Amino acid sequence: MRFGGISSMILNCRNIKLLLLVILFCLCIAPAIASASPQKDIAVLPFKNVSGNSGCKIEYAVTEMLITELAKNKSFRIVERQRLEDVLKESKFQMSGLSDSNNAIKFGRLTGAKYLIAGNITLCSSEESQSSFIVDFGKKKASVELVVRIIDLETGIATGGAEGKGSSDRSSTSFAPSSVGLPNIFDSSKSVGTGTTKAEKDDLLIEAASKAVIELNEKIKAVFPLEGYIIKKDGQIVIIDIGKGMINTGSRFEVFQVGEELIHPVTKKKIGQEKNKVGEITIDKIHDEFSYGKITSSTKEIAVGNTIVLLKD
């Protein structure tokens, strides 16, 4: 009996050790799984007007339009504006100071954002041309150009940039009575017809800015390839953790086996992980939170936990 009791205790100790090892393993891989979430947490700073046109007051509108466009994509999760303002105020950060990598990393920790988008309005112009005979022909045009930098808040390093351009124009006609010798019973400083008001100029600038933002949004999305995980595998069928609204039937993914984490030998900062491509999959059934796919090629065994990256057509 005593021997049996001792044996039982030894087995229990081994089981406890095994359980502790399993728990430790899970704790180690949990951060890696979380960091590869299909959604990217992004903070968008208010745009600055560096165009030289002090009369151009579209910074707020451009910022809101870009946030709206980014939020339409389920790949992105936008940090609330109020949260950004609170962090900037409480930590006494200056937006210009976020170009320093240490400040950028701290800002990321405080806001929960992984990426920061900082943008400038580099061109903001409106012009009007007019020709006249009996009827005045007028043309109004507005142009807006935007540039952004994208900063990885885990490393403090700029990972890319993008730019967007937009223009909008309108034509109008008006009748000038004096041109045919008739008295002008209207305001003598204007022709009969539509004049160019400040509101019209502002509308044109907003239209141009909207087009620039749409182009900018497409280029920003290209900087962030959609990533996820294989969460289940049965023969040649796999399930991934990306669902409706992010991909389409027929979407193709590269499959990677993640290797050793790379750390800079001098700065000691994490700069990424080795990735070895092991195959490709094609999506054939999409659900709200996950999707089914088929393995179309493989050089090594594709397994649960492998990362996937959307291929651009």
Domains and CATH numbers, the chain: 40-223 (3.40.50.10610), 227-310 (2.40.10.410)
Mean pLDDT of 243-266: 89
| Helix, strand or coil, per DSSP, at residue 289 | coil
Using 50, 70 and 90 to split pLDDT, how confident is the model at 10?
very low
Q: Of residues 178 and 232, which shows the higher confidence score? A: 232
How long is the chain? 313
| Alpha carbon distance 44, 95 (integer Å) | 11
| Beta pairing class for 307-310 and 252-263 | antiparallel
Name which of 3-7, 261-265, 306-310 the model is least confident about: 3-7
Question: Would you give the end-to-end CA distance of the chain in angstroms?
Answer: 70
Short-list 249, 257, 256, 247, CA closest to 294: 249
Using 50, 70 and 90 to split pLDDT, how confident is the model at 28?
very low
Task: Report pLDDT for 274.
Answer: 82
Using 50, 70 and 90 to split pLDDT, how confident is the model at 131?
low
The DSSP-derived string for 133-157 is SSEEEEEEEEEEEEEEEEEETTTTE
Per-residue pLDDT tens digits for 74-122: 889 999 988 888 887 877 666 666 767 788 888 889 999 999 999 999 9
Question: How many CB atoms are closer than 10 A to CB 57?
Answer: 12
Using 50, 70 and 90 to split pLDDT, how confident is the model at 13?
low
Using 50, 70 and 90 to split pLDDT, how confident is the model at 133?
low
| Alpha carbon distance 196, 98 (integer Å) | 41
Per-residue pLDDT tens digits for 33-55: 444 456 789 999 999 999 999 88
What does the mean pLDDT of the chain come to?
Answer: 80
Q: Could you tell me what percent of the chain has a pLDDT over 90?
A: 47
Element (H, E) at 119: strand 115-132
* Residue 26 clears pLDDT 80, i.e. is over it: no
| Alpha carbon distance 51, 19 (integer Å) | 62
Mean pLDDT of 237-259: 93
Element (H, E) at 161: strand 157-175
Per-residue pLDDT tens digits for 165-208: 999 988 765 555 554 454 554 444 444 444 557 777 788 999 99
| Alpha carbon distance 198, 195 (integer Å) | 10
Task: Report pLDDT for 121.
Answer: 97
| Helix, strand or coil, per DSSP, at residue 2 | helix
* Residue 126 clears pLDDT 60, i.e. is over it: yes
| Alpha carbon distance 68, 76 (integer Å) | 11
